[in-house]
Chains A and B, each alone.
Chain A
Amino acid sequence: MKTKSFKASQLSMLEAKLSEIINANFKPSLAFVFASVEMDIASVRAAFENYNLVVFGASSCGEIYFDGISEGIYEGSVTVSLVELKQEFFASTLIDGAGLNSMELGKKVGNWGKSLFKSPAFLIAVSGLMANGQEVVEGVLETVGKNTIMFGGLAGDDAHFKETFVFDQHSIIDNAAVAIAFDTDFIDIRGLASSGWVSIGSDKIVTKAIGNKVFTIDNEPALKVYKEYLNIKDDELPEIGVVYPLLVKKDKREVLRAVVGIDKDEQSLVFAGTVPQGSIVTFSTSPGFEVIDHTIKDIRLFFEDAGKVDLMLLFSCMARHRALGPVIAEEINEAMQITGLPVNGFFTYGEIGNNGPSCCDFYNETFTLALITQK
């Protein structure tokens, strides 16, 4: 499996790079493309039209391309990984989410993958601000099996929270899932999801919630609780909410849920994922910048027996980027240093992945790294 990755800050640069790289010696069949909405997504997609390529594309909230030479973290650009891989090892789909809820969308992706391979593994990106990542994951796991391997994330829009996109070689949709199903007989997908956030304060109970909207915590309006406890002003929300997510404990599982929106009339909080009614929550924060040390430790541990790797794709939380600022480069750099491979990816509105041997889940605030290797 031959791969080549690059980053371009202008459309012309993207076109030039593609024509330079793709030639008689390197004929890729698959492209992973993560682009800022500033780049004009339509033109980005069009740039791939002349090549016989399957495109897996998503709009981003900051692009990641680490090759040991360039800066690593970008805004308003596009990153590309081109992969030479036999057509029979994978397939792609772009499923329109119109008229479907997130669970149904997930099931549709799952059924599609199951119809192709005995045990498919997925890369997935979901667009639409109303998409519930948790339910998409559950939909896939329900149809394919709870041990299914899947990595990906929710598309971003540079923190405008207006419109996000996913695309393939043919079209772009603002409410859809783009997915690649791999035949795990030939392709190995693994990875890790590391957060390092810690809970602070006392346990509270979500007393009223529907989907990813929380109305009351301990029978008090959720927005009021959030503002009172953290002493923050209206205009600081929801931006500050991504840095201080809630740690949600339910059925012995702990997931972080960042605040991505508020509704002043309802006094409710909108989270980047489901917060079930009745779950126990605490506030959480990164324990200073040691959180990076925590993730670096996780990365080192994971790579101790990771073996050969062909391609690394990173789905890192935009909230994590906000919280850690330029320091986030350290953890990304670590993965690159260990493998010697470039790290391509984007900052997401939510991550999907299997943390080592665990079941696939939907996260916030994580560093979720997917490794793709031909067996």
Chain B
Amino acid sequence: MSKLVTDIIEKLNSIKSIGDFEESRNQILEQLMLLKKDNEAIHFKYDRANKDKNIIYALLTKTSTDLNQAVSDLKIRAEELSTLLSAIPAFVYFKNEKLEYQLVNNAFEEFIEKKLTDLIGKKVNYFLPEYNSSLYNNIEQEVLTTGLPVYNIEEIIVKNQQKIYLSTNLAPVKNTDGLVIGLVGVSYDITDRKNYEIELTKAKEQAEAGTRAKSEFLANMSHEIRTPMNGIIGMAEILKQSSLTNEQLANLEAIEVSANSLLSLINDVLDFSKIEAGKLDFEIIEFNLRNMLGDIERILVTKANEKGLDFRVVCDDTIPANLQGDPHRLKQIILNLTSNAIKFTEKGHVEVVIKLEKNLPKNHLLRFEINDTGIGVSKEGRQSLFKEFSQVDTSTTRKYGGTGLGLSISKRLVEMMNGKIDMNSKFGKGSTFWFTAMLGRVEETEKAPVIIEKENLDLLSRIDKDLSVLLVEDNKINQKIAVHNLTQAGYKVELAENGHQAVIKYKNGNFDLILMDVLMPVMNGFVATKKIRAIESYRAHKNKVCIHHVPIIALTANAMKGDREACLAAGMDGYISKPFKQKDLAELLHNILSGNMQQPA
């Protein structure tokens, strides 16, 4: 602009005459116009600069206030955070990516008896030199590398000769770009909890030992009770066959009935105690459902007919004959429910209906219904029906007897078969007890016909006539009963008092069958069986001939879990509970000889 003004002044100074003026007038006017424009621009710029100044000043003032506020907010937040940190009873620390302490809380300071200022930039071994930190450092390094938290690292630190249990959670700390810049650790002193846990484990072990002792006691007791019971029942049976007056016979039958129901009560109590102890045998084997139902029908039809009730078992045709599961337990449930139905039904009928509820890839879900026309169960009664030791009311107990354990046992057994149990009833109009059970599919392969050995065929043909049996039994009463039963069946019986005698008699004799008690003085049944089997194979080896394998059947009174396996492992072929009926023995023997054994699962 100054150049423009200088130009104008020069031009004005050079005007000497009117002619000069005329000459430079337009130029001067043009320059004055430019000056005016410049002036306007300067004014505009000045105004604008003033406005800008005011506005930017306002903006800066406000921004500075904002910043102060933000800083003060941040201070408050930091104080709050610090208060929060110191209030946490756990040991909290922040380490940088070199695993050096950057920040710790009060609890941490107190624990290691050092101040934060002493800790910054230090590693853990600075204050715990004897602590082997390599494992822990590896985990911390893993958190830094993966950027993922690690929870519940438990370790023991020894401080002042005292064991301290610590549980630590580690979490990565990331910056705004998501890069890991360190980690936060929170450690809890769990010493008290750990000690408590140790005590608890001890107490639990003790309790378990107690339970074990209890169930062993129960098993022993049941054995002890069953032996004389078997004696009573066996003797009664023998007595029945002697000539008796009608009154004597009636009394004897009363003894038999009472003894049998006592035995069944003992069995219930034993089963229940086994369930409680978690020791109930439960096996999964292949079995024929229809055969099992046939057994049930045979057992119960007489009972029902005695009461004048119709009894039938109806099984859906679509259910495959062969299934996998525990046939004995299944039988036990059906028997229990059906016996109840017969017990509580005075007239009409009792029927067992089996339906296929669902076909699954590996299983069949079967539904068993036991319908009766009995007294039924009231709504209130139903609620406690499946509970232990409960019957509908005490008058029922008085009238019908029983432990009240049957349904409870059935319920547990059904649950073990992944099923449900329940009932529908109208009081006084009968009941339907039903349950479902998951039973395994059996691949329907064509079974090769069982080739029965010549000796077995021979034995089979004589099962019901004249077998030569070695009975190994120490108990005099049991001996008497067994000998009586076997002789009645036409068998020839040789007696051994214990295992040792049995081995000698086996060596020198020739038997079709050995019945072996398990618990005996001098030599028990397991040892004796092993010896007999050893002799058998020695003879076979020596004579290079196939020596006939003598079936050995264990006589078991106690059926605790493991006994069955022990019998089979010792080389026995099967087992039968005392007191056995000739019919049961023949059936078992038949199964063993024809290769239809189901028991060795």
Q: Does B54 contact A (CB under 8 A)?
A: yes
Task: Check if B41 sits within 8 Å of A200, measured CB to CB.
Answer: no
B41, A326: Cβ atoms closer than 8 Å: yes
- In the complex, are the beta carbons of B52 and A325 less than 8 A apart? no
Is the CB–CB distance between A229 and B45 below 8 Å?
no
Whether B9 is near chain A, meaning CB under 8 Å from some CB there, is no
Are B41 and A231 within 8 A (Cβ)?
A: no
Smallest distance from the beta carbon of A201 to chain B beta carbons, Å? 5
B interface: dominant SS: helix
Contact B52 A283, beta carbon cutoff 8 Å: no
Q: Per-position contact with A for B39-75: 1 when CB-CB < 8 Å, else 0?
A: 0110011001101101111110111001100000000
A369 sits at the interface (CB 8 A): no
Nearest CB on A from B389, distance (A): 69
B37 proximal to A (CB < 8 A): yes
Cα A288 to Cα B37 in complex, Å, equals 19
* A228 contact set on B, CB distance < 8 A: 62
Chain B minimum-CB-distance residue to A230: B55
With A230-B58, A232-B55 already in contact, the answer to whether A327 and B45 are too (CB < 8 A) is yes
Would B66 and A202 count as touching, CB distance under 8 A?
yes
CA A47 to CA B165, docked complex, whole Å: 97
In the complex, residue of chain B having the shortest beta-carbon distance to the beta carbon of A229? B62
How distant is the Cα of A65 from the Cα of B189 in the complex, in angstroms? 83
**Nearest Cβ on chain B to A211's Cβ, whole angstroms:** 27
* Closest partner residue, chain A, to B63 (CB atom): A201
Question: In this assembly, does A285 line the interface, its C-beta being within 8 Å of a C-beta of chain B?
Answer: yes
The residue of chain A having its C-beta at the shortest distance from the C-beta of B70 within the complex is: A202
Give the residues in chain B near A289, CB-CB below 8 Å.
45, 48
Q: Which of B48, B66, B67 contacts A325 (CB 8 A)?
A: B48
Q: Please, which residue of chain B has its CB at the minimum distance from the CB of A326?
A: B41
Partner of B56, one of A202, A285, A325, A327: A285
Question: Which A residues are CB-close (under 8 A) to B63?
Answer: 201-202, 229
- In the bound complex, residues from chain B placing their C-beta under 8 Å from that of A327 are 41, 44-45
For B52, give its contact among A229, A232, A288, A326 (CB under 8 Å).
A288
A141 to B332, CA, bound (A): 81
Q: Does A281 contact B (CB under 8 A)?
A: no
Interface residues of B in 26-47 (CB under 8 A from A): 37, 40-41, 44-45
B45 / chain A contacts, CB cutoff of 8 Å: 289, 325, 327
* A200 close to B40 (CB less than 8 A): no
In the complex, which residues 262-312 of chain A have their Cβ closer than 8 Å to any Cβ of chain B?
A: 283, 285, 288-289
* Cβ contact within 8 Å between A231 and B48: no
CB of A283 within 8 A of CB of B59, answer yes
CB <8 Å contact, A229 and B44: no
Q: A325, B55: Cβ atoms under 8 Å? A: no
Q: Is A244 an interface residue (CB 8 A)?
A: yes
Closest chain-A Cβ to B57's Cβ sits at a distance in Å of 8
Which B residues touch A201, using CB under 8 A? Answer: 59, 62-63
In the A-B complex, list the 6 residue pairs whose CB atoms are closest, starting with the nearest. A231-B58, A325-B44, A229-B62, A230-B55, A326-B41, A201-B63
Supplied contacts A202-B66, A285-B52, A325-B41, 14 more A-B pairs, CB within 8 Å: A201-B62, A202-B63, A231-B57, A231-B58, A231-B59, A232-B55, A244-B55, A283-B59, A285-B56, A289-B48, A325-B48, A326-B40, A326-B44, A327-B44
Pairs across A and B, CB under 8 Å, 19 listed? A202-B63, A202-B66, A228-B62, A229-B58, A229-B63, A230-B55, A231-B54, A231-B55, A231-B59, A231-B62, A240-B51, A243-B51, A283-B59, A285-B56, A289-B45, A289-B48, A325-B44, A325-B45, A326-B41
